[in-house]
Structure 1
Amino acid sequence: MDVLAILNLGEIAQYFSKMAMFPVFDLAYYIVSILYLKYEPGSVEVSRRSPVASWLCAMLYCFGSYILADIMLGDSPIDYFHNNSHILLATAVWYLIFFCPLNLFYKCVTFLPIKLVLVAMKEVVRTRKIAAGVHHAHHAYHHGWFIMVITGYVKGAGVALMSNFEQLLRGVWRPETNEILNMSFPTKASLYGAILFTLQESHWLPASKSTLICLFTLFMATSKVIMTARHSHGSPFALIESWVCHLLFGSPLGSSEDSHDHHHPAPVAAAPASPTKTKEELNEGTRKRKSKKAE
């Protein structure tokens, strides 16, 4: 207790939960989000052929969670676009990543030490968005626990949930990549986080919101940094999910993670495909090979 009192962990958590996200953390969120867009096959070609379509896709990657949550809660889907500073900042990031001379900005932000910092900062924003979504739904539907969970889930993973619509803007249709069918780690974590924040908002969880925000952010940032550094597609939830699915639904042990992998066969010499690795390595390698052929 004396150690905790000296460290003032409660005050640290309180300060952290009230720390402003704009512009530093939001900038990191936009950079990582638009990097994922550039890793998608054909995204660079679309940016050259139709910059407007590419910009719209980038805005969906940055603000898709807000748009989807507003639609669910009966607000205008373009309501968030009145934040001119956020739109301009995201637009500047989109332009630098796709059109910076010699790809200098892209090379800087994909340098692994810098990228790990940006990934961690993005998870800070994600956690804050989940908590804000649950809090917003709590005010609109005071006893609607499921609505709170769904809203927090959408705020944390709305970009992934809208991926098929974003693909249509790029002229691509890949229904097998539906995020509900193939949930990635951030999507699962957003759902579990929304449940935790709903329990806290309903006073079923004996913890303050600031403490929960601090702990969940630490878990998310640590997990994503390790996964990015190791180029891993594993999930901290894999073992627990395997046992729970086997107990409740009769699924074979160890098959839950396999079912979330891509359904199309991977090359024999390649590592198992995954949402993280596919976006950050396989698609980027494909794009580089195409650009070399074009040259």
Structure 2
Amino acid sequence: MDSAWDELTLAFSRTSMFPFFDIAHYLVSVMALKHQPGAEAVALRNPLSSWFTAMLHCFGGGILSCVLLAEPPLRFLANHTNILLASSIWYITFFCPCDLVCQGYSFLPVQLLAAGMKEVTRTWKIVGGVTHASSYYKNGWIVMIAVGWARGAGGTIVTNFEQLVKGSWKPETEEWLKLSYPAKVTLLGSVIFTFQHTKYLSISKHNLMFFYTIFLVTTKITMMLTKTSVSPFASFEDILGRMLFGRQQQFSTCGKKNEIKSSFNGTGSSTSKPTIDASDKVKKKHTKKTE
């Protein structure tokens, strides 16, 4: 039984992402670009700019990981097959007659299949980033985490830079500030695979890849079916935030309450003094009259 399970997970870890899983990744990325306001007008007015933006959406994680490792950021252009494949997906998405690609993508089963296959590629990108960083820094586990995180979810950061160049960047959409669910789950995966790679986690890589991918696909499909954007880590983040950062808030609220009490006592004492002085004056006047 164990040998059959190992063979299954090992075969899964050796699955090639080209071409079907890569097609799903490019399709989801380009469709996300097309749904942005004004993207279709840009494609008609300036196809080269639209194509370059689509390539950033498709290969942004690889570009950012190259920048972190001081490698040529345009190295992704050397893979001619993937560039042609992504360019084909971009072309038929924006310029297909009768918009047939978007109409086919509008069906929910197609979206679920494409999104699930894209999450599979996320696992492969994280593992590739951690392994690639370890070839430069064997004991630099922080570097491995950063590069794995960048390769798995760095596309949004690169596209934010592209929006900054075009003048359409908004600070509230910055990925580093809001940390969307893909960024969080990719960071978690990068930490786990880094610990496994550095022998701090006693589990085989193919088993870990299988379990992590199942978690990604199941969570993504569940979020799409329920139409919710709430992160599955929301409750854990709330508990952890209260444990680590809630104590200081409690102290600050207690300090404010003490200040209010002290100010209230101070005003009470100051108001009591004039009443005492007034009563003394009344007594003095009364004694003078009696005299």
Residue of structure 2 equivalent to 1:229? 225
1:216-255 equivalences under 5 Å are: 216-250=212-246
Q: Is the 8 A contact 1:60 1:159 kept in 2?
A: yes
Deviation at residue 168 of structure 1 after TM alignment: 3.4
TM-score by length of 1: 0.81
The Cα offsets for residues 170-217 of structure 1, whole Å up to 9 and x where unpaired, read as 541212100011111111000000000000001011111111111111
Give the match's secondary structure for 2:230: coil
1:31 correspondence with 2:27: yes
Output the CA distance in 1 between the equivalents of 2:164 and 2:46.
Answer: 13
Q: Which amino acid aligns with 1:218?
A: I
- Return the match for 1:19 from 6, 15, 20: 15
Selected match of 2:69 from 59, 69, 73: 73
Matched residue type, 1:112 = L
- Does residue 158 of structure 2 align to residue 157 of structure 1? no
Query: Offset of 1:110 from its aligned partner?
Result: 2.5
Query: Which of 182, 189, 197 pairs up with 1:186?
Result: 182
Alpha-carbon distance, 1:39 to partner = 1.4
- Equivalent position of 1:5 in the other structure: 2
Shift of residue 166, structure 1, vs aligned partner: 2.5
Measure, in 2, the Cα distance between the counterparts of 1:157 and 1:198: 16
Matched with 2:260 is none
Instruction: Please report how far the alpha carbon of residue 169 of structure 1 lies from its aligned counterpart in structure 2 after TM superposition.
Output: 5.3
- State how far apart, in whole Å, the 1-side matches of 2:111 and 2:185 are: 21
Letter in 2 for 1:245: G
Provide the alpha-carbon RMSD of the alignment.
Answer: 1.6
1:40 corresponding residue in structure 2: 36
Paired AA for residue 246 in structure 2: G
Contact 1:57 1:170 in 2 (8 A): no
2:75 pairs with 1:82: no
State the distance in 2 between where 1:251 and 1:54 align. Answer: 49
State the Cα deviation string for residues 202-234 of structure 1 (Å, max 9, x = none): 101111111111111110011111112222101
User: What amino acid is aligned across from residue 68 of structure 1 in structure 2?
Assistant: L
TM-score by length of 2: 0.82
Q: Distance in 1 between matches of 2:165 and 2:181?
A: 25
2:119 is matched with which residue? 123
Asked whether the 8 Å contact 2:133–2:147 carries over to 1, the reply is: yes
The separation in 2 between residues aligned to 1:46 and 1:231, in whole angstroms, is 29
Matched, 1:177 2:173: yes
Secondary structure, aligned partner of 1:203: coil
Q: Please identify which structure carries the higher helix content.
A: 2
Unaligned 5+ segments in structure 2 are 250-291
Report the AA paired with residue 137 of structure 2.
Answer: Y
- Residue aligning to 1:270: none
Higher gyration radius (CA): 2
Contact 1:81–1:87 (Cα < 8 Å) also in 2: yes
Percentage identity across aligned positions? 42
